[in-house]
Structure 1
């Protein structure tokens, strides 16, 4: 038997320790990803209950979800940039701590308005966690394993999405609605200590960054983006399903704000988002597809609980259980999806995932009307694995060739596009559902009206996914054309 030399033994030991360190790092990042996704999904299942507890309308309780998403969306790019400038580890630790404290405030909120405010604060913490998690993958995982790492993060996101409805339904039925927020406390504490122990120390020149951070940070761009997105969300939510003069004014304000934001970004020395980045075909098409896909997925989380509880008359616990079926399937396929990306390539996997999602969306519009809960489950079981394939492939396509000093920024932009889609799903798609089901209020809608709202909403969703598939094909042709030239 061949003896192992001392240098070989040392190299093996070093390699083993490095591999173990990467595993703990990925475990820490995965828990952060789980918490941020859990923060969205666990609140959705509680919306029907909150309408009764606070005697509120569907549009009012929507803001328990929208406030969280809006806070994330307005800050996701900014915190990604701050992480690149000031150091990602300490900023991530601050984000986890903020998320945990805000969860306690949500659980203690005595009124709907205070709950919405606490959810916005929770969203600030989640923005930091989401932006920096993906950026850390680029620092710790080799390029050829990026797809697998993205698949793992996608798995944890799906686990959070799955845990939210099922755990939320059980907690509401067995304890109280406040428990759906307080459950984050032990998870947040564990996430903080794992991140503090295992994440690599910041490599930036801290003193230099600290001295120049305020000069380099785009405060005007950040404020304009926040105001624009707030106007957009209000335009989609106010009016109880009716699009009136106030909605139109807010939508015009959002359009004007977007135009002004773009103008400012072309003028400032250090913009929040450089307009030149959108000339990259891979990036721009990925962002557009990400927005459309997230819109559809959020529609399933917002509309689903109302259809299951009001049209099919399921209990809170059963609503949570049924809603968790698709994400559980998605969670089980996440790592596999990442490996498929590494083998097949990102572009082919994106197309495959979108085709599955188109099929699932139209199935949601058609099958439940004929097969009831069985049809709903079949459609969701088609839609969610397709989403997992798309997400792993799309994130890999964008992140694997990014320069180290731009990882936080680009990760923030990916999350921005996703959360723009989530806001659209929670507001625009929610408005479509509310308008079709009942003009007098969602609580007064009949089961048949809610079933009709479900059908129309997912016909619209299916059309959006067909558009995403068209964008994928067009982007691929343009990329080939540029390479040829």
Structure 2
């Protein structure tokens, strides 16, 4: 591995800029599309199910392949896989921008998700391997804050692009960003890989995981409209069977895609459980909020995007500081308090209903929402990576990203039905508002529950001075890490 990069150097700034551009592009795309959904639905004649697949096609490919993508980076070079992912993502974005039908747009979104899977874990793995240990939490804090800004600014940018010309610009805007990101990566990012790994990644395990998520997602999305017909039941049964097989293979295989040793660390498990619940809640709220603002409150796309500006500002100002605070005093308090604050913000957003003003119905909720995100995003990411051995940086990042995307995937698949939104109900302000308020309550409970789980995490996991435990594992196993507590 190349020498580590010190914080404050020119190379450190370039490494950060590259990873932020890459992951920020993927993050931006996941939120910018939300604002474009009403216009896409009108132009392409999409139903609620069609809109769900436009979102879930991307999330499905991302969540399914992100684990093997992290492993590919560890084996073949983190910079190399990251760069290839950026190129793939840019090409798929072009296809999305040219898609003439809902079906072709969904197919292009699946391809875009493949590119996102290749580049997303690479961003964090590059930071984890490139920066000195004492600077990693700070670097991840800066990365979290600025990529979080990309996610938050997505609705605003999406609104501007949709009103300027078409929803297609929401995809085409990725092309110049991808070109710049590839140029920076090739010039300034050091290559790194896990020198201990041998052989080839097990693609069969990835296929099982992808089949499992695809089957379960298809059943959840289509069941409200189709009922429990033969296709829905077959998809659900196939998906569950594939996921069970995936878990069995992981536990018994000699070279598993996800080393079971990672899950012997309680902090790693709890931090990922928190990630799942919080990102499920977050994904559900962000998708429905732009619909609620445009359909029920009559906001044009630009103002619907601008409504979330406080989240952008708070994330920009506070996330890096949040990462440094977690490094200094330990992450547990922020992991507990942050999701609860996010849940409170969601409850306040129940006031965003027809007739409400922005100052009373929207602003209090998004402000509290943003404060909670700033508290928790950087610390939970740093905690997951610190709880895993350094040699598994790519895999650990892949697991955490897969968990986050699966949370969003499940929320987009399940939440509309839970909230009573099927068919074309999203075009009816009264039905949408009732569903919006129900969804917010469900998401607030899920987020707060994630905070309670964090009570069991190790508060010293980010300490650079913690001694490494002895290597007590079998000679052909992975090196031991901090014991689970």
- TM-score w.r.t. the length of structure 1 is 0.88
Shift, 1:330, TM fit: 2.0
Match of 2:450 among 436, 443, 468: 468
Shift, 1:440, TM fit: 5.1
1:337 is matched with 322
Is 1:378 equivalent to 2:360 in the alignment? no
Is 1:225 equivalent to 2:209 in the alignment? yes
Is 1:356 equivalent to 2:341 in the alignment? yes
In structure 2, what is the Cα distance between the partners aligned to 1:484 and 1:35? Answer: 35
2:439 is matched with 457
2:80 is matched with 90
Residues 336, 242 of structure 1: alpha-carbon distance in 2 compared, 3 angstrom cutoff:
farther
Preserved contact between residue 262 and residue 275 of structure 1 (Cα < 8 Å): no
Preserved contact between residue 365 and residue 457 of structure 1 (Cα < 8 Å): no
1:4 is matched with none
Residues 444, 126 of structure 1: alpha-carbon distance in 2 compared, 3 angstrom cutoff:
closer
In structure 2, what is the Cα distance between the partners aligned to 1:186 and 1:90? Answer: 19
In structure 2, what is the Cα distance between the partners aligned to 1:318 and 1:484? Answer: 48
Is 1:133 equivalent to 2:123 in the alignment? yes
2:276 is matched with 291
Q: Deviations over 1:188-218 (max 9, x none)?
A: 100010011100034566xx97xx543xx21
1:3 is matched with none
Which deviates further from its counterpart, 119-128 or 236-245? 236-245
Query: Number of paired residues?
Result: 459
Residues 269, 31 of structure 1: alpha-carbon distance in 2 compared, 3 angstrom cutoff:
same
Shift, 1:82, TM fit: 1.1
2:469 is matched with none
Which deviates further from its counterpart, 372-381 or 159-168? 372-381
1:8 is matched with none
Q: Deviations over 1:345-383 (max 9, x none)?
A: 111221121221121122223565784433222112111
2:410 is matched with 424
In structure 1, what is the Cα distance between the partners aligned to 2:389 and 2:265? Answer: 14
Preserved contact between residue 231 and residue 253 of structure 1 (Cα < 8 Å): yes
Which deviates further from its counterpart, 357-366 or 76-85? 357-366
In structure 2, what is the Cα distance between the partners aligned to 1:411 and 1:443? Answer: 35
1:99-138 alignment to 2 at 5 Å? 99-138=89-128
In structure 2, what is the Cα distance between the partners aligned to 1:401 and 1:469? Answer: 18
> What root-mean-square deviation, in Å, do the aligned CA atoms of Structure 1 and Structure 2 show?
2.6
| Structure 1 residue runs of 4 or more that deviate by more than 6 Å after TM superposition | 14-18, 482-485
Is 1:407 equivalent to 2:397 in the alignment? no
Preserved contact between residue 146 and residue 400 of structure 1 (Cα < 8 Å): no
Q: Deviations over 1:110-135 (max 9, x none)?
A: 22211111111111111111111111
Preserved contact between residue 340 and residue 349 of structure 1 (Cα < 8 Å): no
Which deviates further from its counterpart, 239-248 or 347-356? 239-248
1:314 is matched with 299
| Larger-gyration structure (1/2) | 1
Match of 1:258 among 228, 237, 243: 243
Q: Deviations over 1:13-50 (max 9, x none)?
A: x9999822112111111111211101211111111111
1:14-53 alignment to 2 at 5 Å? 19-53=9-43
Shift, 1:251, TM fit: 3.4
Shift, 1:411, TM fit: 0.7
- TM-score w.r.t. the length of structure 2 is 0.88
Which deviates further from its counterpart, 272-281 or 167-176? 272-281
In structure 1, what is the Cα distance between the partners aligned to 2:125 and 2:483? Answer: 28
1:434-449 alignment to 2 at 5 Å? 435=420, 437=421, 439=422, 441-445=424-428, 447-449=429-431
Residues 204, 337 of structure 1: alpha-carbon distance in 2 compared, 3 angstrom cutoff:
closer
Preserved contact between residue 298 and residue 426 of structure 1 (Cα < 8 Å): yes
SS at match of 1:46: helix
In structure 2, what is the Cα distance between the partners aligned to 1:455 and 1:321? Answer: 21
2:475 is matched with none
2:375 is matched with 389
Q: Deviations over 1:432-451 (max 9, x none)?
A: 23x2x4x5522552x22211
Which deviates further from its counterpart, 174-183 or 319-328? 319-328
Residues 444, 178 of structure 1: alpha-carbon distance in 2 compared, 3 angstrom cutoff:
closer
Residues 111, 81 of structure 1: alpha-carbon distance in 2 compared, 3 angstrom cutoff:
same
Gaps of 5+ in 2: 462-481
2:51 is matched with 61
Preserved contact between residue 73 and residue 193 of structure 2 (Cα < 8 Å): no
1:74-223 alignment to 2 at 5 Å? 74-202=64-192, 213-214=199-200, 217-223=201-207
